[in-house]
Structure 1
Amino acid sequence: MLILNKWILFIDGSVHPQSGIGYGAYLAVKESDLSLDALSARVKVLRFYPTSSTRLELQTFLWALGELPSSARHVTVYTDSQNIIGLHGRRERIEKNNYRSRNKRLLNNADLYEGLFRKADQFNCSFVKVCGHQLSREKDALDRLFTLVDRASRSALRKEVRWKTCC
């Protein structure tokens, strides 16, 4: 079956735990657009505060989905976030327990989980786990595209943390 409006989404984030500052980055491309040279300029970066590493990955994912055109029908998400990859398998239990833990405490990031499930359904998302930090010689074309978002988020965070520590 041919799926029209099929997109690939690469997401990553970098956080400075001591300050609670994080930068999320994403790259959204139609499957037919996979040219490394032109795509590096299309990586989007956004600052999040306050955040944590887990929260940042979720915030970045929701932000990226919110930026996709409403005509997108299927999105394959590439991430190194084990939390996002594992959410699909935990979804039924999380929703059944009304976003609460066994001791009835509201889950950390419950608001983001709820939004993520809603958006993922809207865009018929599937997820692919990538190894975030491989040697260049071991990377395939998709790994190289993921590297663009990884570098963008780390670079943005480094610039801010360096600026705050020096000035």
Structure 2
Amino acid sequence: MIYLEEIPMATMQRIIVDSAKVDANGRYKLQTGATETGIYNLRLDQNTYPLTSIVNDAPKIMVDAVFSKENGQFAESYEVKGSPASQKMSAIAAHPDRLGIGIDEDTCALFEGDDILQVLGKGTVTIIDPGEMTYTNQTEIGATDPLCMCNLRVHLLSHGSCYDLRKRITIAPGHK
């Protein structure tokens, strides 16, 4: 069996949302009714570590896995299609001196002259900061291999929140 686990940001406790048998050709189908961005793991029976993790930030994400013919318990490769966030993570891993910034609809990231980013609007601004990243395998892997990034900082900022671009720290609403 292969399982699709959701990792809710509020509790970080994994929840199995679907499962399927892997057929003789190494294929399976898993789905969930996710309506917002989340993190999902693919996990085989009783494995301690997930096969891969997926950032679900698109209406439809497909994961193609090719399983070993000698041992159906091991996937040889994965390809995640349709996830803009997963693709952006590769670019961030390659440039740890830069920030990744995502802006929701109906939201503004106002870049002010004092190197302060201020969030305005109904949604959130996501800031991905690899500045303190301790390890990435980005230079060692192929295009469809799983990416590893250790000690990556992620900030979700809403209306009134700020971010100091020079110091790389968040500033709570009303504390600028």
TM surpasses 0.5:
no
TM-score of the superposed pair, with normalisation by structure 2: 0.26
Q: Name the one with the larger helix percent.
A: 1
- The structure with more radius of gyration: 2
Q: Name the one with the larger strand percent.
A: 2
